[in-house]
Structure formats: C-alpha cells, structure tokens
A and B are shown apart, each in its own frame.
Chain A
C-alpha cells in the first residue's frame, strides 16, 4: 500500500468477555452430513430408490423367474444390479453437492477443516450403503420365502455368508469409485458422466484391446479394475485375483482418490 494512511485512534474496547468455544466433534459432523443426505426431495428419493428398486426387483423375480431359479441367489442378483448403480451415485452427490449447489461456501466456513467434512461424508455414505445393502438383502430374503411359498417350491438359499460379504465389499468398492470421482471432478454432472465413462467405456476399451491385441491378454488382469472387482460378485477370488484387485485398485481408485483429496484441500471454494 503506497498511500500514507490516517491512523484510527483505538476505540475503547467494549468486547464481551467470552470463553473460547469447544472444537466441533466428529459426531456432530456425521450428524449434519447424514442429515444433508436426506433433507432435500432429491436426496430423500435417491435414498428411497434403493428400497423401491429392491422391492420391484423382488416382485419381478417372483413373477417372472422359473421355479428352478427361485433361489436366494436370483433374488440377490436381481436386487444387486440397480443397487450397484445407485450407491455410487449417492457417493458422488454427497461430495459434489457442496460445489454444484455452492453450499460449500457455508459448510467450509463453519468447518474450515475440509478433510474432516469429506471424511464425515465418506463415513456417512459407506454407512448408508452398507445399511441399505442389508435392507435389500432382507427384502430379497422375504421375496425368496414368499416367492417359493407362492410357487410351491422349496426355499433355496444357495448363498453363504462369505459370498454376501464379498458382494458387500464389491458395492463398497463401487461407492469408493463414486467418492473418488466426486472429489476429483467436484461437479455433479461431470462426476456422473465420469462414472459412466469409468464403468462402461473403460471395460469396452479393455475388451477391444483384449480381442485384438495379444500382448494385452497377459496384462489385462493387472490393469482392469472393473473386471477385477466383478469377480467378487460371482466367486471367492483366488490369491492371484486378490492381488490383481489390489494392484488395479491402487491404479484406478487409490491414486486418483489421493489426487482428488489434494484438490479438495487446496482448491478455492466459490
């Protein structure tokens, strides 16, 4: 500042004496972030769509599946497909809403530690995802019992706890992908488009490479995160498949997430 300025005489300080407020505990951030996922119509129906999709898929399986296919596995596969698409959307929108709706201006001035806000969002998203998967599994179980009773066949489960746990893990990975795209792109529309590129375009490209390039077949398992995580839906992975999941996850999930988090911490919020 080049101008010589006129000093203002100190004003008789009448500042109220007050104690410094306590820091904001993580539980409160979880509480508000959870609330923010449900408190708009769009958010409410996005959450509700999980239950709705599960019921529709169960009813459809009851109505259309042949008697031999009335097993719990059929129900969980039918329910699992819509959920595997909805959960990553929830993860994306929980992050990008702060930027697309510009609520970040308030959120990050009330809680300057952006890392804690983002961590709270991640925990809420995962919590909701896992809880909704259990609800969906329960709906599927009810569907299985009712479906077999109505059709007069024996109730077949055909899925054990390990397989269910692997399906939960696969969905958690899907949500983490959504979360990664959210912090990386920070725009609802952009991240959702990114998700479809990520989960539909990339596998197509890998498929083409696999078909036409011999050299690619050897490395395919170690670069295609999508197919490495799809294994979880069908089988218990072998040791090599676990390793492939780890390597591809590092490339396609961990590293982009770290870049995204760095951007979230440093970028301007406007």
Chain B
C-alpha cells in the first residue's frame, strides 16, 4: 500500500506537486494519469526518496521509503528505463540488483525469463538495446526482489502491442496476488484497460480520483453552479459524493432530480443540470491536456521533464 499525504514540491516559484493526497491499495492496480509535465514523475521520485518533498509525506507499506531496510525486496521501482548504464550487459545490471538485495544467483536467470529477454539479448550491452528491451530490463530490475509494491513510471513506453499486452497481464497477476501497483501514464486508454483505480493529476493538483468504474460510469449527473464548493458540501451532507471537473462542474452518480432538489433546499442557484454523457473522464482529461498545452512551462525546470 502507498499512502501519499498532502505532498507538495516547489521549485522556486513553481509548484510541481501541489498538496497531493491519495492511496494506492493492495490487490489493485492504481493508474496515475496526467498530461506530460503534470507532476507524475516528481511525485513518484518523492515516493522513492530521490527528490525531497517541500512538505507532506509519502509512505510505502506504512514507512517512509528511506526507512525500508532492503527496499528492493519490498518495492519494485522503474522510473526511467533509459537510466541504465549503457556499457553494462542486461545480465550484469540484474546481477548488480540481485547482489545488492542479497538474492540467490538463480533469480537473475528466472527474471530474464520472466521479462522475456533471451540469453543472447541478456549478454548484449544496454547501449544496443531498443527502448522496449530497456523497459523489459527495467521491469526485471523492479521484479527481481519479489516485492509487494510496484511503482512504474510510463512502463508501456516503447513496448510493442504484444509487449503492452504482456505487461498488462503481468501487472494484473501481480495485483491479483495481493500486490500494490502504481503506474503512471499520459494516455487515458492505456490506463483504462489496466487500472482498477484512477488518480488524475493536472498541473500538480489531483483533479479526480476513484475507482475506474465510478469515474467512467455512464450514469450520473453533471451540474454547474456559481458555488460548486457549497453544492458539493450540500450533496455530501446527503451522502452523495461528487467529483469536480477542472472547469468547475460537478459530476455525481445521483439522479438529476435528486441533485436539483438538494440544490433547491440548500438555496444554491444552478446554471446547468443534466444527465452526464458518460465520457466525463475523457472530456476532463482532454481539457486538462489542452490547458497544460496552452500554457508554456519554459521557465520551469519540470515543465518538460516530468
């Protein structure tokens, strides 16, 4: 389980990660979705102790990452498949991980088989690897310690369709076995097919989170008001949960008639009230992407890199 609480990271005046709170649960695949530069990679780097947070905490299995006695045995991490020594062979990179974690020698061979790298490929130097092979090797490094938690940043990058299918099945099995999987992507459909839960981030802030079923549900109501916070409170009071779109509209599973009645009782004026059209998440995600593309992040170090 991964627990992120009020995590914030600033670079000068730029807030790359802004008060992010979410939980990735055991037995589920949590998709961390957001356009490029939204703060996904920074959040993941903070989780594994590579970037210090400005404030807030990130805990994995109830502890800060730095407190894990042998992190590779508990958390498998792949942040960037290109960040491997070009002069080492794939087998050597796994051997270093195996020795650091104190694993039996055979785990290198079994991991190579698990990520479908042949003997010949394993003896090649990484500089001669395709991006897809680097991803497989990186996933191998993450898996070799038989961890309980996987943290993967854009693991599908560079994989061919068969490779994506392979990874999807692998992560599914890992979660079904009781493991926790957090994987990021900037592609909605990629996450949609694999994730149980979704956390959507844009410009450093979480804009939506919940189970995929809830977020993608066709049923529900879309409601606009000049006082969305007030309406959300009023709905919450009636035990109706709602999700706020970036444009200020609220979406909820409740029936439009019920939402209208609650708004009337709370004396909150509505500007729009209708049945949601189902593609809520996709719409919201497109808006997010468009918003971040309109803004230039040139003066921010994270704009392009994250």
Contacts and interface: CB of A to CB of B under 8 A. Distances in A.
Given A6-B243, A32-B96, A106-B83, A13 B49 contact: no
Nearest to B49: A112
A23 interface: yes
Interface in B216-236: 229, 232, 235-236
B51 A268 contact: yes
Interface size class of A (residues with CB under 8 A): 35 or more
Nearest to B233: A4
A22 B74 CA distance: 11
B148 A4 contact: no
A3 interface: yes
B104 to A, nearest CB: 14
A102 B80 contact: yes
A110 B71 contact: yes
B102 A105 contact: no
B66 interface: yes
B79 A105 contact: yes
A16 B177 contact: yes
Q: What DSSP secondary structure best describes chain B's contact surface?
A: mixed
B150 interface: no
Q: What DSSP secondary structure best describes chain A's contact surface?
A: loop
Interface stretch (B25-33, B157-165, B264-272): B25-33
Interface string B200-212: 0000011111110
B168 interface: no
B207 A3 contact: yes
B97 interface: yes
Interface centre among B96, B141, B215 (most CB of A within 10 A): B96
A15 B83 contact: no
Contacts of B84: 101-103, 106
A35 interface: yes
B243 A1 contact: no
Given A1-B206, A24-B100, A112-B49, A97 B85 contact: yes
